[in-house]
Structure 1
Amino acid sequence: MSPVNRPPLKKRAAVLLAVTTVAAALASPVTAAAPGAPAPAPAPLKWSNCATSRYPTLQCASLKVPLDHDRPDGRQISLALTRVPHTAARSQGPLLVNPGGPGGSGRTLAGYIASALPKDVAGQYDVIGFDPRGVGKSEPVLDCGAGHFTPVRPDSVPLDEATERANLERVKAFAESCQTKHADVLPYIGTVSAARDLEVLRGALRADKLSYFGYSYGTYLGAVYAKLHPDRVHRLVLDSVVDPAGVWYEDNLAQDQAFDARHKSFLAWVARYDSTYHLGTDPAAVEARWYEMRSALRTTPAGAKVGPAELEDTFMPGGYFNGYWPHLAAAFSSYSVDNDPKPLVAAYEKFGAVEPSAGNSYSVYTAVQCRDSAWPKDWNTWRADMWRTHAKAPFMTWNNAWYNAPCAFWPTEPLQAPDVTNTDLPQALLFQATEDAATPYEGAVSMRRKLAGSALVVEQGGGNHGIALSGNKCLDEKLASYLLTGKAADATCPAQPAPKPLPATRAVPPSAGGAALHGLLGFRG
C-alpha cells in the first residue's frame, strides 16, 4: 500500500512447503508457538544508556534472532531495540510499539509513546521500540539500491507505451537489484517472520506476556503475533487498521479510492479559503486547477525536480495528516496563481523527496509486502485494474501502482496470508478515523469482526492516519483507561478541528502533537 505498503514472492523450490508450514502454524496457536525445532531460550538483554535531550531515560540493546525460525540454531540476525523503563512500583510488563510501514523504524517511537502517555500509565510499562528485521539499525540492513525515486521520474500515468515501458523497466530493475543484493535473506523478510521475532523478544525480556501498540501496518503485525501467541498477549492496541482480508493487492486498490476522496477534501478546504489562496470557491474548479498544474509539470518540471509523479509524492502526505494542508495549499497557490514554482519545489523537498536512508525502508516495505501474500504476476491484470480504478480515483492510483509494482516481478514466491481471526485473545482496542485514506475505515470494521470481543473507537469525520496520542483528548483518555485496566467499549469521538491557513496559525501550529507523531510514522506506512 502506499502505506501500508506491500506483498512478496519467494524461493521457488520451497513454495508449497512454506505455504503449508505458515498456514498450519497460524491455524494452531500451540503449534505456532514452537514451530520447527525448539528454540533455545534467548540470552537476557543488556541495556545501555542512549538518552537524547528529548528522551532522557531512553536505553538501547540488541537481540539475536534466527534468520529462519524453523532453524533456530542456524544463522542469526540482530534487532535494534530501545526502552523507556517503567517507574511504578508495580509493572504491567513490556509494551512493544511499532510505527507501521512495513519498513518503519520504531526505536524513537518508544520515547514518544512513553512521553505522550499520562505519567501514571507510562510508568507502569517498559515501553519497547524496535527496528524489525532488515530495518534501520537492525542487521543485516536491506537496501536494494539508490536512485529508484530520483527525480524527474516518468509520469506515473502511462498515457503511452513508452511511459509504461519506462516505469516497468524501473520496477523490474528494483526487483532484480533486491535479488542480486539480498537473495539470502529475502525469503525471511515478511510479517510472519517479524511476528515470530516478537516472541523471541518476549523471551529475552523474561516476560510472561507482552502488550503491543501498533499503527498502520503495525496493526497487521500485531494481529499476526496475537494469532500465533494469543496466550502471550496482555494488551493489544491497533490504530489506523489494515484490512486483513485484503493484504496486500486489494488493500491497495481500496486505498487508491480513499486517497482520492481525501484529496478532494483537501481541495474543498482550499476552496473554503479562497481569500487566502485565490484558487476559486468551487471545489471542482480548484480540482481542475490542480490537474492543470499536473499537466504543466509534465511539460516543464518545476526546478528540474517536480514532474507529475513528484507532484503526487508531494501532495500524498496531505492524505495522512491534514496539518500539512496549509503548506501544500500555499505551494499550490504560488505555482498556479503567482507563477512561482519555488514554494512547490520546497514542498517537494519537505514532503515528497526520498531521503537516502529511505531506500532501506522502501526495500523492506517491498520485501515484506511481496512476501506476505500473492500478487498478480500478469501485468495485463495490473493494467486493467489500475485503469479501472484510475477512472474513478485519478489522484494516486497509478503512483501507488508503480510503488508496489516490483511485487509483480519479485524473485521469491509469496506465502499464504494468515487468517487472523482470533477468539482466544483478551479484549483488544482499535482506533480508526472514518475518512482515513491510508487504511480505510472498512478495514477496522473487518479487523474488529475477526478479533472477538474487541472494542472500536471511531474518530467521526477525522481523516488523519494515526490518531491516538496526536492531540485528540477523547481518544487519548480511552487509550489510557484501556492500558490501565484492560477494559474498553465501542465509542465515538469527534474529530479535531481542521487546520487554518498559515498566516492565522504561525504562532501556534495546528495539532503540534499530531505533527510530532506523524513525523515518526512517516508516509506510505
Structure 2
Amino acid sequence: MNSDARRTTTRRTTARRAAAVLLSGALLLAGCSAPAKEQSPAESEGATGGATNAEGAPKGFEEFYGQSLEWKDCEDGFECATASAPQSWHDADAGTIELALVRTRAEGKKKTGSLLVNPGGPGGSGIDFVRSASGTFGEPLRKSFDIVGFDPRGVGGSTPVTCFDDARKDESLSKDFATDDAGLKAMAAEARAWGEACAENTGELLGQVDTQSAARDMDMLRAVLGDEQLHYLGYSYGTQLGATYAGLFPDRAGRLVLDGAIDTSLSADEVSKGQAVGFENALRAYVADCQAGAECPLTGSVDDGMKQVRAVLDEAYEHPFPTSDPNRDVTQTLAFYGVAVTLYDEGSWPLLTQALDEAITERKGDMLLYLADFYNDRNSDGSFSTNSSEGFRAVNCLDDRGATDADTMRAEAAEIEKAAPTVGRFFSYGGASCADWPYPEVEKEFDLHAKGAPPIVVVGTTNDPATPYVWAEGLADTLDSGVLVSYEGEGHTAYGRSNDCVAGAVEDYLVDGTVPEDGLTC
C-alpha cells in the first residue's frame, strides 16, 4: 500500500464531488487566460460595488485588508484578480504571497453580496471549481451573489506548494509498501523525501499553509470584496475551512453552508477510521447495485462480491495489472484510487463495473489506470494538471498528523481493518506521511463551537463515503448554532447533485436568510 493512500483519499473532492459528469469527458478548465480588458476603477472596488475597508484588520495587517482588487475579464464571462496576503498571519514582516480569484457577477438586479466557495481538498482549486462546475449553483444563487472562487494559499494559481517534479511524483503516487518493519522504514524514507523536496522548492510558506491561515485569508478577502459578513459555501474539507472561519471570526460570519461535513472535534486517526467505514459502506452499496444488473462481474452474495473486489486489490499488489502502456502497470495503490474515485457519485458506478470486469476477466488494468489518473489529476503525457497532492499533504501535516510511531499505527490499523475489511488497509499508517515533516503541527487557536455565530447550515449525505454522515451530525452538534440538513442517498456531498429539497434549503438560507428546520431530511 502507499504511505499516503489514506491521506490522499481523505477530503480530496475538487472534481470528485461531480465525478460522474467529469469522468464522462468534461475537463477541468485551467486558470484565467490573458485579460481582454481592464475594468474601470468603479467596477474594480469590490464584488458588491462597495469600497474595501481595513476596519477589523489585525494590527500590522491593515494594508492587506485595505487593498483594492483589479478585476479583469478572463474569457467565458469570468473575471479574475489576484490578491496579496501575508505569508504569515503572525508576522507582518515575513513577506507576501498571492491568492488567485475568479468570479461570476450576480445576474439579478438586487445583489446580496459575494459568496465565497471552496470545493474541498485540502488542495482543491476554487478557481477550477467555479469555472468548470458553474451549473452546480442554482439560479437563486447566481442572481443574488457574485460567486467567488479562490485558490487557497499553497494551491494552484495562488503561491503554490511545490515538491517533486512530475516523474518523481508519478513514481511516488504509484508505490506500494509492505507494513512489516522493512516496509515501514521504506514508507518513512519516502515521506521524508516528500518533506525535503517540498521544503527545498517551497520555502518558508510550507509552514504557513494550515487551515487557520487559510481562514484568516478568507476574512481578508471578505473585507477586500466589500462585505461586512462572509457568506460562504464549502464542500468536504471546505466545511472544515468554514467551521474554522466561524470559530475565529464568529461576529463576521454571515450565512455559512457546510456540505459533506468534517467533524472538527475528531482527531486525524478518528477521521481515518470513520472514512474507512464510509468507503466500505459505499462500496457495499455499489456491489449490491452491480449484482442486481445483468453484466456484473461480481458473483454470489454481497459479501462474496466484496471479497472479490478485495481479491482484485490483493492481486494488484502481488502482480500489478498490465496496461496498454508498456511502461505503466496498475499497482495496488493505483487500483484502490481507481475504485475509490467512482464511489464519490453513483453515476460513476458503471465505470467501476467496467474496470472490475476488465481486471477479473482479462487481467488488464487500463480502466483502473484511467480512473486512478483522473483521481490524481495526471495527464496522459505524465504531467499533472494540479498540485492537489502537494497541497493536501502540506495542509494535513500542519493541521493534525495523527499517531506517528509504528506500534500505535499498527494497533490502529488492526482496528480500521476490522471495521472495514475490504478497504481499511488504505486508511492506515497515515501518520507516516507526516512523521518527519519539516514544520511542526500548528496550535489550534479557534473555538470549535463558534460561539456567537449566526445559524450555520450543515448538510450530510447518509451514505457519503468520503465524509460519513455521522460527521455531519457531529459537526452540527459541535457548532453552537449548527443546523442539520440530511440527504438520504449515495455519493459525496449533496447541494448541486441531489434533489430540490436540498437545493431549496441551501438557497433559501443563503439568499434570504431563511433557516431550514433543524433535522430536515430530504
TM range (shorter): 0.7 to 0.9
Aligned to 2:403: 376
- Aligned-residue offset at 1:58: 0.9
Letter in 2 for 1:366: R
Aligned to 1:39: 62
Counterpart selection for 1:293 from 312, 318, 329: 312
Gaps of 5+ in 1: 6-31, 495-525
Counterpart selection for 2:114 from 79, 94, 100: 94
CA–CA separation in structure 2 for the residues paired with 1:350 and 1:242: 24
Counterpart selection for 1:63 from 76, 83, 89: 83
Structure 1 323/345 Cα, relative in aligned 2: closer, same or farther at 3 Å? Answer: same
Q: What is the correspondence of 1:255-270 to structure 2 with a 5 Å cutoff?
A: 255-270=275-290
Q: What is the correspondence of 1:49-448 to structure 2 with a 5 Å cutoff?
A: 49-52=73-76, 57-111=77-131, 115-146=135-166, 147-150=168-171, 153-156=174-177, 158=178, 160-273=180-293, 275-303=294-322, 304-351=328-375, 354-355=378-379, 356-357=383-384, 360-373=387-400, 375-401=402-428, 405-417=432-444, 418-448=446-476
- Aligned-residue offset at 1:293: 2.2
Counterpart selection for 1:3 from 7, 10, 13: 10
- Aligned-residue offset at 1:400: 3.2
Structure 1 414/247 Cα, relative in aligned 2: closer, same or farther at 3 Å? Answer: same
Letter in 1 for 2:81: A
CA–CA separation in structure 1 for the residues paired with 2:385 and 2:403: 26
- Aligned-residue offset at 1:35: 4.4
- Aligned-residue offset at 1:313: 1.2
- How many residues end up aligned between the 2 structures? 462
Kept in 2, the 8 Å contact 1:172–1:409? The answer is: yes
CA–CA separation in structure 2 for the residues paired with 1:385 and 1:306: 27
CA–CA separation in structure 1 for the residues paired with 2:81 and 2:506: 28
- Aligned-residue offset at 1:367: 1.2
Aligned to 2:22: none
CA–CA separation in structure 1 for the residues paired with 2:393 and 2:286: 29
Structure 1 415/463 Cα, relative in aligned 2: closer, same or farther at 3 Å? Answer: same
Aligned to 1:486: 513
- Aligned-residue offset at 1:199: 1.4
Structure 1 119/296 Cα, relative in aligned 2: closer, same or farther at 3 Å? Answer: closer
- Comparing 57-66 with 358-367, which one deviates more in the overlay? 358-367
Deviations 1:102-148 (A, max 9, x none): 01000132346654433343211111000000111112443345424
Counterpart selection for 1:457 from 458, 477, 485: 485
Identity among equivalent positions (%) equals 28
Secondary structure of the residue aligned to 1:245 is coil
Task: Answer 1 or 2: higher relative contact order, Cα 8 Å, separation at least 6.
Answer: 1
Structure 1 178/398 Cα, relative in aligned 2: closer, same or farther at 3 Å? Answer: farther
Q: CA RMSD in A?
A: 2.6
Deviations 1:269-317 (A, max 9, x none): 22222x2124314112222222222233233211242122211111011
Kept in 2, the 8 Å contact 1:39–1:72? The answer is: no
Structure 1 210/359 Cα, relative in aligned 2: closer, same or farther at 3 Å? Answer: closer
- Aligned-residue offset at 1:151: 7.3
- Aligned-residue offset at 1:247: 4.2
- Comparing 375-384 with 112-121, which one deviates more in the overlay? 112-121
Letter in 2 for 1:425: A
Structure 1 344/400 Cα, relative in aligned 2: closer, same or farther at 3 Å? Answer: same
Kept in 2, the 8 Å contact 1:145–1:177? The answer is: no
- Aligned-residue offset at 1:75: 0.7
CA–CA separation in structure 1 for the residues paired with 2:138 and 2:313: 45
Kept in 2, the 8 Å contact 1:379–1:408? The answer is: no
- Aligned-residue offset at 1:33: 5.8
